[in-house]
Structure 1
């Protein structure tokens, strides 16, 4: 039996603008569009509705009520584009999602709700997430699209209709719950049919004669006697593989087998398209409704199953299967083309192109964390703190060369440390300096090297750098900030040589 979730946004455009511009949250504003030489209100904020301003009202009438009302032009199809974005977000809860113009979306929730602990929890989670984002909405679940649509908008009792109970759920709702044209609704009210229960049992021939085929079609769709389908939005297929388990998985060897099967299928797809994984996520859906997440990353794109499997092995101990995992989903969250480097006929040094190096760094990152591994490349700046930056990957290259005319330390402090220095005369290197309560006697020195402040980026004094070697053979990179000052110049330690 199919189940459908209909979500109704009570004030979509106004909520969206309030999210983008929080200062308008409690303001009186409307969206407008030109129709038949008149400017009409297409959506109104909640504060505007409290003042008696609603959609389909002429803007001039709205200004008569609130003279200083804010009016925004309603972009063509903006409502549709916004619903499509929300529908794409909702695909995480159902593979089949459609927009329902002008103010809703519909999810085919068949076989999906149990992953979140049942329909009540499923509905509560989705509506809760949307409300957290700033959208005021309501939802309902039933066997048919029509009944879900009606309950989401006009229902006052339970939003979840038990299977086969559409008839009883519709009885006390007004005719507009059947998605009829306005002219038919007005005719029904003139005849005293203010509730569906007053005409739902009338003969089909009588309803057709008085209200046309649309009445029977909409009534049948709501009850489930007429077929109704939705047109799901098409999203570019992600690089994702799913593995449904016949029995819940709880052991480490079983999880390893599941990962291997998923990698086999995913890497085959990627290799056929010349792509590799840069980051991947493994989700395990447990029997208790919780989801475990495990992520890996690589320095170079790869579809090497053995290597990727080892990276996941490092994380298996963190996976908590609890009562058991019934579904695994492996997603390549970031992919890039695989660079195949030409092997040399004679022995040589492959350098950063060495796949073994990339795989070693991946394993180290899996053990100690990716933040502990850095590769730096030069930047076009004179100021030392700005002359280098972290590389995005091992493959990233730059045309800028490292500065070789004057040596730079292997280790630079994130922020230069103040030191106490004894210097004989101006422009002479220090005789000694004190750093962290330790006195260093200088035996050799080289400098100064003057580096001017990059005035187009910031203001400040220049620096005069010296390379100093103390009596224990340790070498340091220190500088004096600005010109020599008889009252005491400011000296700093900036780096350590190997």
Structure 2
């Protein structure tokens, strides 16, 4: 919106046509809190709220913006993304959620990125497009994740408006006392089908998963794409693998023509029942080696359900980068450096990108932050802290509370109890004082930990700390914790 737009401190709505009526089609948070709602007559809104700003909706511009947002979702979250007009997106995240650490993490990342762009979003994850659409718009929560097989139960309480039915059908359903999906689904079909036609139950069956509703993914015009249409459906894994390799050869030929390498490669399988199965692979660096890419894809073919057969395969290069060939030194003295990228890609596509990493040291006194995870192909170099005291090579992911007997303010424990066992301390070293990093977390401002190395009578050595400096209450609670053990 340009500088000529209304102030963000006034309630803003958009108006459009609903048949012959002029109605509110969108409203911001301020307007909603005032009592404005989508579908309200413009004349009523103007009479009730004098300071309400009502602007004409630009349907064409909104459609273009939604298409751009779908392309953004295609590049960041899933190879199967489509616009769900007038104001939604539908994403098939099968096979993609693990790359973000799970379904909840993917949704959190998606809504966070939208928020960074000034877009307030809600999200629902369900078995079907229809169920997710209904829950996102009428579920009443910003985020809903429905367990597999539970979508039907979650839908029954929702109003019939959530089924994407023609607007003219809704008043008649309410007149019959059918206000919710549950009430509608419980009625015999023949009389209602005669009165309302097949579209009513087609929407119900799509929402409950009894009728397929394939997603037609948005197609970025700049995407490099190859496809194969079959005269007879295929289903055998060997046949699917054969054509996967052929499409990969064609794709790499196109990439070479453009001087590009692929970072993410998507392969869509359109089944005879119009359902679309999708697999995709990603690489740490740009690649256009057919054998390497085909192997990564073929490793995932077993996850594809061909149903009654596949009649179309489409391969798209979802993410590409310029690829320049490196010259090999023709010298007997040139050391042979193994190419580890293929190994990293294979592991990452099998177990998830978060499972393959390398660790580097970080110059910090906070033990939990002393190691950072990076991509295996990253060239970043770690930095070390100036250490005055030894630390164990391994620490516990979460410090464990212990009961300790010690003299304040800076004496080590004489004895402590950990995991139900009491230990007598033979000798100790410390304290090593660690200050909170307030520039990382404001809650750490003024906080202190005092670390001690404790050797018990059995010869074992432990690394423990006390929160607080033993003098000032605001530095910590004086609780003791076990943080590691020397080997």
TM-score w.r.t. structure 2 length?
Answer: 0.54
Residues 1:328 and 2:297 aligned together: no
* 8 Å CA contact 1:476, 1:495 repeated in 2: yes
Equivalent pair of 1:242/1:327 in contact (CA under 8 Å):
yes
Residue of structure 1 in register with 2:61 after alignment:
81
Aligned to 1:494: 483
Give yes or no for the alignment of 1:462 onto 2:444: no
Q: Is the 8 A contact 2:363 2:385 kept in 1?
A: no
The 8 Å contact of residues 301 and 337 in structure 1, kept in 2 or not, is answered as yes
C-alpha displacement of 1:71: 0.6
1:28 and 1:70 in contact (8 A); partners too: no
Unaligned regions of 5+ residues in structure 1, if any?
A: 1-7, 30-44, 54-61, 98-102, 105-124, 140-155, 161-232
Is 2:17–2:23's contact at 8 Å kept on the other side of the alignment? Answer: no
Q: CA–CA distance in 2 between the matches of 1:258 and 1:80?
A: 40
- For the Cα contact (< 8 Å) 1:88–1:235, is it kept in 2? no
Q: Which residue of 1 aligns with 2:26?
A: 17
Separation in 2, partners of 1:319, 1:385: 41
1:73: Cα distance to partner?
A: 5.1
1:372-415, Cα deviation, whole Å (9 max, x unpaired)? 33434456754333454433x33445576233535554444343
- CA distance in 2 between partners of 1:472 and 1:367 (Å): 44
Q: Is the Cα contact below 8 Å between 1:421 and 1:433 reproduced in 2? A: yes
Moved more, 128-137 or 79-88: 128-137
Where does residue 46 of structure 1 map in the other structure? 39
Q: What corresponds to 1:254 in structure 2? A: 239
* Aligned counterpart in structure 2 of residue 402 of structure 1, from 375, 384, 400: 384
Instruction: Give the 5 Å matches for 1:117-128.
Output: none
**Aligned partners of 1:137, 1:87: CA distance in 2, in Å?**
23
Residues 1:130 and 1:83: Cα distance change in structure 2 (over 3 Å): farther
CA distance in 2, matches of 1:279, 1:470: 54
- Note the C-alpha offset of 1:25: 8.6
1:482 — aligned with what?
A: 468
Structure 1: how far apart are the matches of 2:336 and 2:432?
Answer: 35
CA drift of 1:491 comes to 1.7
| Higher RCO structure, 1 or 2 (CA under 8 Å, sep 6+) | 1
**How many Å separate the matches in 2 of 1:472 and 1:366?**
46
For residue 450 of structure 1, what is the aligned residue in structure 2? 433
Per the TM alignment, residue 312 of structure 1 is displaced from its structure 2 partner at its CA by 2.5
Measured at CA, do residues 423 and 131 of structure 1 come closer, stay the same or move farther in structure 2, by a change above 3 Å?
closer
Change (3 A) 1:88 1:481: closer
Contact 1:412–1:496 (8 Å) recurs in 2: yes
Question: RMSD of the alignment, in Å?
Answer: 4.9
Per the TM alignment, residue 462 of structure 1 is displaced from its structure 2 partner at its CA by 0.4
* Alpha-carbon distance, 1:272 to partner: 4.5
**2:257 corresponds to 1:277:** no
Where 2:307 maps in the other structure, the secondary structure is coil
Cα separation, 2, equivalents of 1:340 and 1:478: 53
